[in-house]
Amino acid sequence: MPSAPETPWWKDAVCYQIYPASFKDSNGDGLGDIPGILSKLDYLKDLGVDLIWVSPMYVFTQVTFPGVDMGYDISDYQKVYPPYGTLKDMEDLIEGCHKRGMKLILDLVVNHTSDQHAWFKESGSSRDSSKRDWYIWKPPRYAEDGTRLPPTNWRSYFSGPAWEYDEQTGEYYLHLFAKEMPDLNWENPEVRKAIYDTIMRFWLDKGVDGFRIDCVNMYSKEPDYKDAPIVDPKFYEQPAWCYYANGPRIHEFLREMHEQVLSHYDPVTVGELPHTRDPQEVLRYVRASEKQLSMVFQFDIVDIGQGKEYRYYYQDWKLPEFKGIVAKWQQFIEGTDGWTTVFCENHDQGRSVSRFASDAPEHRVASAKLLALMLTSLTGTLFLYQGQEIGMINIPHTWPITSYKDIESVNFYHAVAAKTNNDPAELAYVMRSLQILGRDNARLPMQWDTGVHAGFTDCEKGPWMRVHDAWREINVAKQLAQGETSVLGFWKQMIRFRKQHRDVLVHGSFEGFGMDDEKTFVFGKKTQDGKKVAMVALNFSGEEQEVQLPDTPGYDELVFTVGSYEDAEDMETTKSIRYYQNLTTRLLTQARALGIIWQLQMSE
C-alpha cells in the first residue's frame, strides 16, 4: 500500500551511510574518494537505497591522513578535501543520485570547526579580534598554590581536558572533542548567520537534499560553566554532558535554523542526539509542530555495553535490555506528530553482528540475517551503514593497538596506560572493549571482492587502513554470486518486502511480547487502522527455542510470508505453522539467530 500523498518522502526512505575514506578508491592512492562513490551508485540503487548520506568530505586539518578526527575537523566547508576529489565531483555525485531517483544528504558539522579554519585563526589572534566571541574563550582559574587551572573540570570526548590554554592571549578555549576542534559560540547571532549563509545555503543551493546534523544538541552550553560532578576520582577531568547537552537555548536555535533556512527548501534533517533518554525531551526535537528536525538518532541502542563513566569499559548486557530499548523508541512517537529512525550501525560504532548477535563463522550469516529481519520490520526511517548489507564484522581480537587509527580509541588506551602504569589487566580490558565498541570497527575498508585489498584499492602500498582478515569470505562479489541465499541477497529481499508492506512495517505500531525472555525477541506490528498485522520472532540464542505466540485478536491466524531460513526443508517445515491455533511454535533450526515473519490482511 503506497504512503498517503501528504507523507514526507523521507519517512519511507532507506538511507545508506557512506564513509568516504573507506568506501571505494578510484585512483589508486589507497584512500576512498567521491568518484569511487559515483562508481557504485547503481549497486546502491539495486540494493533498494533511496537516500545516501555522505560523511564529511570537506577540507579538514591539513596533517597526515586521517587528520585529527577523520574529517570532522573542518577548515573549509565550501571545498572538498583534495584526496577525495573536487567540488565538481560532488556536483556530479548529487546529479548522479538524482538521475537514479535517489537523494543525497551531507554531514552538517557546526558545533565546532578546525583550529585551522579562518574564523578561529582570526578569533585567536587577539582578545580584541572582531571574531573573538565566535568561539568560547574563558580566563584561567588558579589553585591555592597558584597552579593555573582550566575554567572547568570538563572532560573532552577524546580524553583529557575540554579546554586548551592559548599562551598568546592568556585564555582557554573550549573543545568538547580534540584540541584542534574548538567549539563555536552559538550564543553569538553572527556565528549562526554565517553558518546559515556560508554552509547550509551553499550546499542546499547545489542540490543536496538535507543534512545529518552532528552533535545537534550541544550548541547551547550551560551559561555558568560549572564544574562537573566527580564520578571517577582517578581523573581530574570528568564527563560533563549534563552541562552542554540539551542546553537552555537549544530549541530556540533549531527553530531559528528551520525558519531562516530549512523552511525555504524541502530537506530532511537527522540530528545526532546523544545523552537524551527521556522520550518527552526527544519529542521536542522531532515533532513536526515544533519545526526543528525531521528525526534524530537516539543513542540508547548503540550505547548498550558501554561503561557508564567511560565508553570503552565494556559491560555485559542481556537481551531484555536490548528489547526494552527497541520498544521504547518504537512506541514513543505513537499518537504524536513525531518521527523516529531505525539503525544499529554507523561510523562511530562497532559492527552490529559482532555486538548484538555472533560473528563466529558458524553463526555469522544467520546473525546478519536476523538483524536485517528485525531492522526492516521496525517503524521509522531505516539507515544502513556501508558493509552492513554484507554482514561485515568487527576487527579481529588479535590486532594490537598499533592497528587502530581512531583518535578517541588510541587516546583512551594511552590515558589508561599512563594512569595505571601499564597494568596488563587494565590494558587487556581496554583492548577487549575497543574490539567490541571501538569506532575503527566501522572504518575498515569496504570489502568488494576477493582481489588484493578486498577490491577497495589497487594501491601498491595498500589502503589507508588495514583490510579485515576475513575479506575473502565476506565481500560483495561473492554474495552477488550467491544470490538470494547471501546476506546481501536477504537484505535486498527484505528491503523490497518492507516497501511492499510499508503501511505496517514502516508506519505501523509496535507491541512486544515476552519481553523478559533472554533468548528470543517476539514483536507484532499493526497498521494504524488495525486491519493489517505482522509478527516477528527472532532467536538470539545458539540453540533451538520454543516461542509462545500471542492469541490476541489479529495475531491468532497468521500466514507465513518470509523468513531467514537457508535450508529448503526448514522453510517447508515452518510453513506448517499456519495450521496451528493459539500458536505455539518452535524455531526449528539449530543455527543461531534466525527469524521468521508473518503477515496477514485482515477482513474489512
- Catalytic: 300? no
CB 521 within 8 A of CB 547: no
What percent of the chain has a predicted confidence (pLDDT) above 70? 89
CATH of domain 509-601: 2.60.40.1180
Round to whole Å and give the CA distance between 253 and 180.
25
Domains 118-174 and 509-601 agree in fold: no
At 395 the pLDDT is: 97
At 561 the pLDDT is: 44
Q: For the chain, what are the domain ranges?
A: 10-113+189-395+446-485, 118-174, 509-601
At 156 the pLDDT is: 94
CATH topology of domain 118-174: Oligo-1,6-glucosidase; domain 2 (3.90.400)
Which of 411, 380, 393 lies closest to 509 in space, CA to CA?
380
- Catalytic: 408? no
CB 127 within 8 A of CB 169: yes
Cell matching residue 4? 498517503
Residue among 272, 406, 440, 511 flagged as catalytic: 272
Residue among 214, 359, 389, 511 flagged as catalytic: 214
Looking at residue 112, the DSSP 8-state letter turns out to be B
Mean of the per-residue pLDDT values for the chain? 89
For residues 595-601, average pLDDT: 43
Round to whole Å and give the CA distance between 350 and 602.
40
At 534 the pLDDT is: 82
pLDDT-derived band of residue 298, with 50, 70 and 90 as boundaries? very high
Say which range, 297-306, 514-523, 558-567, 569-578, has the weakest mean pLDDT: 569-578
Round to whole Å and give the CA distance between 405 and 413.
12
Measured torsion, CA atoms of residues 163, 167, 170, 175, in degrees rounded to the nearest 10: -20
At 63 the pLDDT is: 61
Which of 209, 6, 205, 17 lies closest to 102 in space, CA to CA?
209
Round to whole Å and give the CA distance between 15 and 25.
22
Which of 491, 506, 463 lies closest to 391 in space, CA to CA?
491
DSSP 531-572: SEEEEEEEE-SSS-EEEE---STTSSSPPEEEE----HHHHH
Find residue 509's DSSP bridge partners: 526
Structure pTM? 0.91
Class of domain 10-113+189-395+446-485 (CATH, top level): alpha beta
For residues 208-234, average pLDDT: 95
